[in-house]
Amino acid sequence: MYLNDTIVAPATPVGAGAVAIVRMSGPRAFEILAKIWHPIRPRAGAREPRKLYLGDVIDPATGALIDRALAVAMPHPASLTGEDVAELQCHGGPLVVRRVVALAIAAGAAGARMAEPGEFTRRAFLNGRIDLAEAEAIADIVAARSDSALAQALSHLSGALSERVAHLRAQVIAIRAHLEVEIDFSDEDIAMPSRRTVAADIERLIADVALLHDSFARGRLIRDGVRATIVGKPNAGKSSILNLMLGTDRAIVTAVPGTTRDVIEDSIQLGPYALVLSDTAGVRESGDEVERIGIERTLRSARDADFIIAVFDSSRPFEAEDADVIALIHDHRTRDGAALAILNKQDLPSKLSADELRERGVRVPILAISAIHAEQAPPLRSELAQMVDALVAVPAPEGIAISRARHREALATALGALKNARDAALAAIPPEIVAVEVMAAADALGAITGDVSSEDVLDAIFREFCIGK
């Protein structure tokens, strides 16, 4: 990747639409624009930056008209990427877009190059327009599946997380400055009262960094949604419950036990949060190999879930498979997961009651419904909404929560280094060594915003963007 070439890419998705935007960025963006696009009223005054003008896209080699399009020029440095940016708003047909992009690339020896995924955003980062946490927030906005995910990403984009991290980093660097004084007078003995002050300062920082680190539990649920796995014996009505929640016939429902074999996933918005539902193969001993693999997937999905929806069939007596499902709930709850039991098929004569389920060891809320009746969806939704709310509502410092594993790892590294620094400070170890740990913590925090970054990290981050972003 070279920063001094000019890149081009469609900024809108492939396919037909009212408008498609072709975006160029780099030193030759305006030159290329002038070659391939001509205003229809060339004498209507000087063309101003950041204003749209109507014109024709014409192939300079043949003079052929390609499209009629609006063009806008956004000069550096106050542009998306910090470079000269030109955009063409073409008609939204895939062929038109391909031809306009091809023209930009073919525009003489000084043509543009097709952008890599995320390259516009990467340039914005490299040119200091946004920091790394803000760049990641852009990807999160595009991927948001719920109101809360969108709100969290927008708050990160507006710098809430970056400011919090910068504040922590500034405090770490202040401790380093404190140690500098000691380094300058290092031929004298280490003054322990002063060291205890340093250790106490570090201790306070550890608490603040830990708070942000632990906010990942909440931030991830907000960003990715709460993963709920529906489990139960074959024919209990798991797929019917998925369909009831989704309001569509997403999963196949039959009276034949063992119909669902693979894990079927779909998401709904529940209040401000996304609930990612997984319907699974019924839990039972099976001689059928495909079904056995399906059951293994059920167990794996349940293990990874934040939430278990356990379905019991009230029209049948309690069976060994139901005991397996109860064991699954217990196992999940030992890992702090939440669960809801559903006693299904209330419309049929009852062979299994909520009381019996309690006696058999169910310690989670039990909701009695009939999954084949659409009017049962609202009570189920509201029960789940309340439980999800309780699960996500873990307090976070100043409402800010991290949502990316990369940020959590950086904070864990910073925590480790700060703990080492605190111990070294109290053990009367030379200030230079304490300072090394303190700076390791500062670097780890700096990695979140990209003050400290490597090509590998940038590659990994921007790979998840689409072309043209």
Q: Is 232 in the site for ligand GDP (CB under 6 A)?
A: yes
Distance CA 408, CA 410 (A): 5
Which residue, 225 or 282, has its beta carbon nearer to ligand GDP? Answer: 282
Distance CA 3, CA 19 (A): 29
- Comparing every residue's Cβ against Mg ion, the nearest one is 260
Sheet holding 37-39, edge to edge: 37-39, 53-58, 65-74, 85-92, 17-25, 7-10, 113-114
HSE-up of residue 103 (Cα within 13 Å, Cβ side):
30
**236 binding partner (options Mg ion, ligand GDP, none; Cβ < 5 to 8 Å by kind):** ligand GDP
> Least distance (Å) from ligand GDP to the CB of residue 257?
6
**Interface mask (CB under 6 A) for ligand GDP, residues 258-277, using x and -?**
-xx-----------------
Q: Is 347 in the site for ligand GDP (CB under 6 A)?
A: yes
**370 binding partner (options ligand GDP, Mg ion, none; Cβ < 5 to 8 Å by kind):** ligand GDP
* Residues contributing to the site for Mg ion (CB under 5 A): 238-239, 260
> Least distance (Å) from ligand GDP to the CB of residue 282?
5
Distance CA 207, CA 205 (A): 5
Residue of 229, 370, 403, 449 interacting with ligand GDP (CB under 6 A): 370
Cβ pair 57, 67 in contact under 8 A: yes
Q: How many CB atoms lie within 10 A of CB 220?
A: 19
By CB under 6 A, which span of 33-41, 262-270, 345-353, 417-425 interacts with ligand GDP? 345-353
Which residue, 111 or 294, has its beta carbon nearer to Mg ion? Answer: 294
DSSP 61: T
Q: How many CB atoms lie within 10 A of CB 336?
A: 9
**81 binding partner (options Mg ion, ligand GDP, none; Cβ < 5 to 8 Å by kind):** none
> Least distance (Å) from ligand GDP to the CB of residue 376?
8
> Least distance (Å) from Mg ion to the CB of residue 238?
5
Q: Is 344 in the site for ligand GDP (CB under 6 A)?
A: yes
Which residue, 118 or 234, has its beta carbon nearer to ligand GDP? Answer: 234
Evaluated on CA atoms 71, 76, 79, 80, the torsion sign reads: positive
DSSP 397: G
By CB under 6 A, which span of 90-98, 227-235, 350-358, 432-440 interacts with ligand GDP? 227-235
Distance CA 254, CA 231 (A): 17
Residue of 371, 424, 425, 444 interacting with ligand GDP (CB under 6 A): 371
Q: Is 253 in the site for ligand GDP (CB under 6 A)?
A: yes
Q: Is 348 in the site for ligand GDP (CB under 6 A)?
A: yes
Alpha helices (runs of H) in 280-430, residue ranges in sequence order: 289-304, 320-334, 354-359, 377-392, 405-426
Cβ pair 313, 347 in contact under 8 A: no
Distance CA 293, CA 429 (A): 57
**371 binding partner (options Mg ion, ligand GDP, none; Cβ < 5 to 8 Å by kind):** ligand GDP
> Least distance (Å) from Mg ion to the CB of residue 436?
57
Distance CA 415, CA 445 (A): 10
Q: Is 345 in the site for ligand GDP (CB under 6 A)?
A: yes
By CB under 6 A, which span of 56-64, 136-144, 253-261, 423-431 interacts with ligand GDP? 253-261
Residue 262's identity, in one-letter code, is D
Phi, psi of 85 (to 5 degrees): -125, 130
Q: Is 240 in the site for ligand GDP (CB under 6 A)?
A: yes
Residues 275-314 that bind ligand GDP (CB under 6 A): 282
Cβ pair 410, 444 in contact under 8 A: yes
Evaluated on CA atoms 30, 35, 37, 41, the torsion sign reads: positive
> Least distance (Å) from ligand GDP to the CB of residue 307?
17
Q: How many CB atoms lie within 10 A of CB 337?
A: 20
> Least distance (Å) from Mg ion to the CB of residue 250?
11
Binding site for ligand GDP (CB under 6 A): 232, 234-240, 253-255, 259-260, 282, 344-345, 347-348, 370-372
